[in-house]
């Protein structure tokens, strides 16, 4: 049976003979601990936790550009709470002059793209970002969503500008 060590967190397979009543010896940390059966690995739950905890912004929009998912890092990067932007058009993050909504025809021909842009925070401040987007398709090939990662590159842009000005002088 698969047991989960309450001391070190490891999961290990034990035969019934290694379980002493309600106690077992962990083969990793050698601690004697009360046993409980380990939960089976859930890859969807693991992926969801990873996306929620990475310091990179992740947003999923439907084909109309409405935000259907945004992780905390992306919302905070833009000065929002997650629930403030769900259902809004992703254009809320774009500079008005840089808004380029995707048509369904264009979306049908695209797969992924990378670009640098300037985004707008809730307070109106502007910052540089690097965006990577991928079209998510249904089993029959129709576009159903777009997933975009967003990284604040303001510091990198500042350093590039400083390097360029130093090289020019």
What's the pTM value of the predicted model, to 2 decimals?
0.72
What is the per-residue pLDDT for 8? 65
Are 10 and 79 part of one and the same domain? no
- Residue 27 in domain: yes
Domain that holds residue 56: 43-159
> What's the pLDDT at 26?
67
**pLDDT at residue 11 in the model:** 66
If one counts the domains in the chain, the total is: 2
- Both structure tokens of 139: 């089993």
Domain membership of residue 134 (yes or no) is: yes
| 110 and 136 in a common domain | yes
Q: How high is the pLDDT of residue 46?
A: 79
Instruction: Judge if 149 and 121 occupy the same domain.
Output: yes
CA angle 148, 150, 154 (to 5 degrees): 160
Residue 60 · residue 145 · CB < 8 Å: yes
Whether residues 115 and 72 share a domain: the answer is yes
Please state the φ and ψ torsions of residue 100, each to the nearest 5 degrees: -135, 85
Low-confidence ranges of the chain (pLDDT < 70): 1-41
Query: What pLDDT is attached to residue 113?
Result: 93
Give domain status of residue 48, yes or no: yes
pLDDT computed for residue 17 by the predictor: 47
Q: Report which of 75, 64, 41, 91 is spatially closest to residue 152, judged by C-alpha positions.
A: 75
Quote the pLDDT of residue 105.
86
CATH, residue 58: 3.30.450.20
Q: Tell whether 63 and 108 lie within a shared domain.
A: yes
Same domain? 51 vs 22: no
């Amino acid at each position: 049976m698969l047991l989960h060590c309450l001391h070190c967190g490891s999961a290990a397979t034990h035969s019934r003979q290694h379980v002493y009543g309600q106690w077992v010896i962990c083969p990793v940390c050698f601690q004697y601990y009360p046993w409980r059966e380990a939960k089976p690995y859930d890859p969807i739950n693991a992926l969801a936790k990873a996306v929620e905890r990475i310091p990179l912004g992740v947003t999923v929009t439907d084909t109309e550009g409405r935000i259907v998912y945004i992780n905390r890092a992306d919302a905070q990067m833009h000065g929002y709470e997650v629930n403030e932007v769900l259902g809004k058009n992703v254009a809320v993050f774009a500079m008005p002059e840089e808004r380029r909504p995707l048509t369904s025809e264009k979306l049908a021909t695209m797969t992924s793209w990378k670009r640098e842009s300037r985004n707008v925070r809730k307070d109106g401040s502007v910052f540089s970002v690097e965006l990577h987007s991928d079209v998510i398709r249904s089993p029959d090939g129709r576009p159903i969503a777009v997933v975009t990662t967003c990284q604040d590159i303001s510091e990198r842009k500042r350093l590039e500008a400083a390097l360029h000005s130093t090289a020019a002088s």
